[in-house]
């Protein structure tokens, strides 16, 4: 998404053609066997949904309403500990040591759900910034292609040793992108590899893609990873069991 600190940039055009566009309802659902703390980053200087972050217990859900033209991303923070003032730290996805992310993105590696809504919506689940939890996006209602997008595989279980991020108990808490791990142009699609023609999938991104075919695996994975729908609401599930 534009203006975000991801390693890939998606630029979507919002066109209403004079047609009234309604607000979009996002339902965040946690099916993980542990609490997650969703982080929410709103683009283009817009008002933060849910104050930018909240706590979501196992089997709990919350609804957030976004205005037409909203663009932003959602991710799960894990292993968080916050005090009564909302300050603390998370093992993955931390956004500056606060419960309410206040315009800050999640520290990679994190699985991302990215949106631009209004008229024709664009959405994706991205592994370009790495992976920490399973995630799915299910359009509800709407018209058009409106397909499920997500990563329902446990990439932490198959993460190469050199990409692993471990918690204090030495468990794999997240899986880095190759770009974050090695900072080389061929993995980051930068420098001499900054175009689709010069930045091909790597063994690492192909491992992600094989496990999660409908998720972004590297910067130029648009063709099989960006989805569209019109007039829908969206169910965003952390740790979905199926697609």
| CATH class name, domain 24-238 | mainly beta
26-55 confidence digits (pLDDT tens): 999 999 999 999 999 999 877 789 999 999
The whole-model pTM stands at 0.89
Instruction: Give the pLDDT of residue 81.
Output: 97
Strands, DSSP E only, in the chain?
A: 24-30, 37-42, 61-66, 71-77, 81-82, 88-89, 112-116, 120-126, 135-143, 149-151, 164-166, 172-175, 227-238
Helix, strand, coil percent content, the chain, rounded in steps of 5: 15, 35, 50
Looking at the DSSP bridge assignments, the partners of residue 24 are 66
Cα separation of 206 and 218, whole Å? Answer: 9
- CA contacts within 13 A on the Cβ side of 149: 28
Rg (CA), the chain: 17
Sort strands 24-30 and 227-238 into parallel, antiparallel or unpaired.
parallel
Q: Decide which of 11 and 178 is more confident.
A: 178
Q: What does 123-167 look like in DSSP terms, one character per residue?
A: EEEE-TT-BSS-EEEEEEEEESS---EEE-S-HHHH--GGGEEE-
Q: Could you tell me the sign of the dihedral formed by the alpha carbons of 92, 30, 115, 48, in that order?
A: negative
Q: 197-237, pLDDT tens digit by residue?
A: 999 999 999 999 999 999 999 999 888 899 999 999 999 99
CA angle 141, 10, 206 (to 5 degrees): 90
pLDDT surpassing 90 at residue 18: no
What letter does residue 49 receive in the DSSP assignment? Answer: G
Q: What is the distance between the alpha carbons of residues 61 and 58, in angstroms, rounded to a whole number?
A: 9
Domain boundaries, the chain: 24-238
And the tokens for 35? 């609490």
Nearest to 108 by CA among 32, 33, 4: 4
With vertex at residue 24, the alpha carbon angle to CA 18 and CA 30, rounded to the nearest 5 degrees, is 165
> What is the pLDDT, as a whole number, of residue 243?
64
Confidence bin at 22 (pLDDT 50/70/90): confident
pLDDT band at 17 (very low <50, low <70, confident <90, very high): very low
pLDDT tens digits, residue range 101-112? 988 999 999 999
Q: Which helix (H) or strand (E) holds 186?
A: helix 185-188
Instruction: Please give the average per-residue pLDDT across 172-195, as a whole number.
Output: 95
CA gap 209, 130 in Å, rounded: 12
Q: In which residue are the tokens 């998720």 written? A: 215
Percentage of the chain with pLDDT > 70? 91
């Amino acid at each position: 998404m534009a203006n975000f600190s991801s390693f890939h940039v998606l630029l979507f055009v919002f066109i209403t053609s004079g047609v009234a566009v309604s607000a979009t309802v996002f339902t965040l659902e946690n099916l993980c066997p542990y609490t997650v703390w969703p982080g929410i980053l709103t683009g283009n200087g817009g008002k933060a949904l849910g104050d930018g972050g909240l706590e979501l217990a196992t089997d709990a859900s919350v609804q957030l309403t976004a205005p037409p033209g909203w663009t932003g991303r959602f991710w799960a923070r894990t292993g968080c500990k916050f005090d009564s003032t909302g300050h603390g730290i998370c093992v993955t996805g931390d956004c500056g040591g606060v419960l309410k992310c206040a315009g800050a993105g999640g520290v990679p590696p994190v699985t991302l759900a990215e949106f631009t809504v209004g008229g024709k919506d664009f959405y994706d689940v991205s592994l370009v910034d790495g992976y920490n939890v399973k995630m799915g996006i299910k359009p509800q209602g709407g018209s058009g292609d409106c397909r499920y997008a997500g990563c329902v595989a446990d990439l932490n279980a198959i993460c190469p040793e050199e990409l692993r991020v471990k918690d204090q108990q030495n468990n794999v808490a997240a899986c880095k992108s190759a770009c974050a791990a090695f900072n080389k142009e061929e993995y980051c699609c930068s420098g001499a590899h900054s175009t689709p023609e010069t930045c091909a999938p790597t063994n690492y991104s192909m491992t992600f893609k094989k496990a999660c075919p409908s998720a972004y695996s590297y910067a130029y994975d648009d063709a099989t990873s960006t989805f569209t729908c019109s007039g829908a609401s969206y169910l965003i599930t952390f740790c979905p069991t199926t697609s």
